[in-house]
Chain A
């Protein structure tokens, strides 16, 4: 995959470049601030961009805003946002355009090299990958009278794993159940949340997420 990296910390940028190079990816551009990210994405049209939230000049959510801007200039360009902290409101900003190809992970997750590369690939393919912490916060902020409250504990677990971008097979493996059982849970979730069934895995996840952030 052709990747653009945006992180102002040279230390982390170098680490990511090495990691990606060693696993057979090509880093086409590595930049250190928001505006450079936007122009790099427009110029290189990468398969995926890895973006740090906090970058100069504002040192606040520069990376996030740059990612949103890049996606408005090049609609649907996949972006994986990395941050030291995860905040639901940041996730909301990213998911606001309703397209796939969004990831939002804690920086720590990079150390799980396999999972990280897996997530990166899913984002590049148009899926949505959210950090388990974001999912937990999304669940925590549910209001009263929310249909999500009608989900069983197992169904919530499945929904959370879906939000993290896992396939039914991966969920089945994670929960040590059969794929058929997972499919049943997924159908139940859609029924309870009044979502029409759909064939495509990532579109369903997207639908669930659209519901989660509303």
Chain B
């Protein structure tokens, strides 16, 4: 059956394509074909070398002579694996992880250098892949060659059918199908078979390439991906720990300041109040007029104590923040600031009648509020600014807070101006604080807090 024979003739390598814009499926098809064809000799060579090395190594392992052979085989497997990785990465999606082998220490003894690859899981996977890939490359190679050759040769059959000697005794393919023995039937059957192969060529070649590349994906990349995932998790753990530490530090700082505020404020006033009332009690016996004066003073003292307590409790947990949300609370903050503050909140309108925008998470609102409160305190205390602007904006999964002033600048986390506490607060909320404050100003604080 000469026509069948013709079908197995290798198709011309489809690498030299013209430099025109080619459809994606064609690019894919050519790349897959090139991969399968190039991987075939590699697969055979790999199988021969690795199988031989492995067999000799294992066979002589008992005499210890096989160990260096096995070790060398591992290194060869590693070379094949490297080539395979480079090729497979173009065919199937692979994890972007970098593959790492267990390396002997720089000053390791010679025998340790030999042993090391034998204790490395990835090296064994490389070797296993080298042996397995032979079979997949064989199957995929046959599929690709058959489809290309059959597709092209069959489709072009009318052009070369005349060159084949026809013997009336030959059983042709169309005759087997029960068609009359005419040239037309022969050409029709051969050409349509070729067309079917040509049409199914892209999916079949894709399947062959994937079949060839899948063991590589599973064996040559898998542990690397796993290791990278572990590294990622470790990084996340470290980050989480830093976040916790920042939270604890921010908390401790806040509590210390609270104690200080209570000590210097209301407590002081109440002691004085008690002192004055004690005096008044004393004076009642000796000088009632003085006692009246002292009580009047004590009353004023009481009012001031109340005002101080109010300010203090607002500093601990501002009621307006819980009741009305961040924008209202920040506006109130701005209103109390000694430096004029302009508040801008695109897309974060105050709650009210009509369309009520979704409130942010309470933890985010709280963090944002105190970041702004502390920043404004800093502005009032250190910047000598005459104006200040606060902007709040929701950008994706982040709440971006910007505080700008026209002050003298030179703010730095290390200067103990409360910026360290502020940075801790932001970090505790999982966010990032950026400080831009050249000497001479202006100062710009940018806090990005995650909202999810």
Contact = CB atoms under 8 A, between A and B. Distances in A.
Interface of A: 9, 11-12, 15-16, 18-19, 22-23, 54, 59, 84, 107-108, 110-114, 116
A22 B279 contact: yes
* Contact-residue bracket for chain B: 10 to 19
Instruction: Report, nearest first, the 5 A-B pairs whose CB atoms are least far apart.
Output: A111-B274, A111-B278, A113-B278, A15-B275, A107-B271
Contacts of B283: 22
Interface in B262-298: 263-264, 267-269, 271-272, 274-279, 281-283, 290
Given A11-B269, A113-B282, A114-B282, A19 B275 contact: yes
Contact of A84 (B263, B274, B278): B263
Contact of B271 (A18, A22, A23, A84): A84
**Listed residue (A9, A54, A111, A114) with the most chain B CB atoms within 10 angstroms of its CB:** A111
Contacts of A15: 271-272, 275-276, 279
A23 B278 contact: no
Nearest to B270: A108
Contact of B267 (A16, A23, A84): A84
Contact of B277 (A16, A54, A84, A111): A111
Interface in B231-261: 260
Given A11-B269, A12-B271, A84-B271, A110 B278 contact: yes
30 contacts: A9-B264, A11-B268, A11-B269, A11-B272, A12-B271, A12-B272, A15-B275, A15-B276, A15-B279, A16-B275, A18-B279, A19-B275, A19-B278, A22-B282, A22-B283, A23-B282, A54-B263, A59-B260, A84-B263, A84-B267, A84-B271, A108-B271, A110-B271, A110-B274, A111-B275, A111-B277, A112-B278, A113-B279, A113-B281, A113-B282
A5 to B, nearest CB: 12
A146 to B, nearest CB: 33
A23 B282 CA distance: 9
A114 B260 CA distance: 30
A9 B268 CA distance: 8
A86 B281 CA distance: 26
Given A11-B269, A84-B263, 18 more contacts: A9-B268, A11-B268, A15-B272, A22-B279, A22-B282, A22-B283, A22-B290, A23-B282, A54-B263, A84-B271, A108-B271, A108-B274, A110-B274, A110-B275, A111-B271, A113-B278, A113-B279, A114-B282
A15 B268 CA distance: 11
**Listed residue (B264, B269, B274, B283) with the most chain A CB atoms within 10 angstroms of its CB:** B274
A144 B414 CA distance: 49
**Listed residue (A15, A18, A84, A107) with the most chain B CB atoms within 10 angstroms of its CB:** A15
B133 to A, nearest CB: 73
A106 to B, nearest CB: 9
Nearest to B264: A9
A112 B277 CA distance: 9
A54 B281 CA distance: 28
Contacts of A19: 275, 278-279
B282 to A, nearest CB: 5
**Listed residue (B267, B268, B277) with the most chain A CB atoms within 10 angstroms of its CB:** B268
A9 B279 CA distance: 19
Contacts of A22: 279, 282-283, 290
A113 B275 CA distance: 8
Contacts of B275: 12, 15-16, 19, 110-111
Contacts of A16: 275
A160 B396 CA distance: 66
Contacts of B269: 11
Contacts of A114: 282
Nearest to A116: B278
Contacts of A54: 263
Contacts of A111: 271, 274-275, 277-278
Contacts of A84: 263, 267, 271
A84 B290 CA distance: 28
B411 to A, nearest CB: 23
A9 B282 CA distance: 23
A113 B272 CA distance: 12
A9 B266 CA distance: 12
B250 to A, nearest CB: 20
A6 to B, nearest CB: 15
**Listed residue (B272, B276, B281, B283) with the most chain A CB atoms within 10 angstroms of its CB:** B272
Nearest to B283: A22
Contacts of B277: 111
B303 to A, nearest CB: 14
A107 B276 CA distance: 13
A59 B268 CA distance: 14
Contacts of A12: 268, 271-272, 275
A111 B270 CA distance: 10
Nearest to A85: B263
A18 B291 CA distance: 13
Nearest to A117: B282
A84 B267 CA distance: 8
**Listed residue (A23, A54, A84, A112) with the most chain B CB atoms within 10 angstroms of its CB:** A84
A116 B271 CA distance: 13
Contacts of B278: 19, 110-113, 116
A54 B279 CA distance: 24
A191 to B, nearest CB: 39
B39 to A, nearest CB: 75
A113 B264 CA distance: 23
A19 B268 CA distance: 16
